[in-house]
């Protein structure tokens, strides 16, 4: 079984006048939530083999915090501009193209596309919202990520900073 973990970037400062959306940075709560959520993954022994992230500042910062907390080398963190505000279709294309044969793949991205993708990829449950810094993890019976298709993920689990069932 292969595992896909979807991670929505952590809480971000409101866009300032004249600031590009791409350049928004994590607010203090986001800087606190990201290491905590990474620790939750680590405690469950869910360390990705590869992380593909949107290069927007907020997503890349979140991915870097996770990589640090999970002790992932920089070579396991890839940036792909297609993930910036990606649609479910584009997310699937990136995973199929870049996931290869890794057992555990993590994608770091943005709403609404990430939540829509999570909802479409699961065979078991509906997802109507992934809050900031939410982690949605599923398993797939695939030889490689190039075989990924809709409604195929099983054993889906959603966790997020204010989910105290895991606190």
Split at pLDDT 50, 70, 90, the class of 17 is confident
Question: So what's the pLDDT on residue 18?
Answer: 82
The residues that bridge with 108 in the sheet, in sequence order, are: 7, 53
- The answer, as to whether pTM is greater than 0.85, is yes
β-strands 2-8, 135-140: how paired? antiparallel
The CATH code for residues 2-10+42-166 is 3.40.50.1240
Residue 164 predicted with pLDDT over 80: no
Question: So what's the pLDDT on residue 47?
Answer: 97
Split at pLDDT 50, 70, 90, the class of 71 is very high
Question: So what's the pLDDT on residue 15?
Answer: 81
Runs of H (alpha helix) within 11-80: 28-43, 57-69
- Cβ–Cβ contacts within 10 Å for residue 16, how many? 9
Residue 54 predicted with pLDDT over 60: yes
Mean pLDDT over 5-26 rounds to 91
Residue 21 predicted with pLDDT over 90: no
Q: For residue 114, give the nearest of 158, 161, 145 by alpha carbon.
A: 158
Residue 165 predicted with pLDDT over 70: no
**How far apart (Å, rounded) are the C-alpha atoms in residues 150 and 143?**
16
Mean pLDDT over 139-163 rounds to 96
For residue range 102-118, what is the model confidence (pLDDT) as tens digits?
A: 999 999 999 999 999 99
- % of the chain with per-residue pLDDT over 90: 90
Residue 76 predicted with pLDDT over 80: yes
């Amino acid at each position: 079984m292969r595992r896909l973990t979807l991670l929505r970037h952590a809480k971000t400062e409101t866009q300032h006048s004249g600031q590009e959306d791409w350049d928004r940075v994590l607010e203090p709560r986001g800087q606190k939530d990201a290491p905590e959520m990474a620790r939750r993954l680590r405690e469950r022994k869910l360390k990705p083999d590869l992380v593909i992230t949107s290069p927007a500042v907020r997503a890349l910062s979140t991915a870097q915090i996770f990589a640090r907390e999970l002790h992932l080398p920089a070579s396991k963190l890839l940036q792909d501009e297609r993930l910036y505000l990606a649609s479910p279709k584009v997310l699937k294309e990136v995973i199929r193209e870049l996931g290869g044969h890794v057992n555990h793949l993590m994608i770091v991205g943005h709403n609404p596309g990430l939540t829509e993708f999570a909802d479409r990829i699961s065979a078991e449950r509906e997802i109507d919202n992934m809050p900031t810094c939410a982690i949605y993890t599923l398993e797939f019976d695939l030889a490689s990520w190039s075989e990924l298709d809709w409604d195929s993920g099983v054993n889906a689990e959603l966790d997020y900073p204010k989910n105290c069932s895991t606190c």
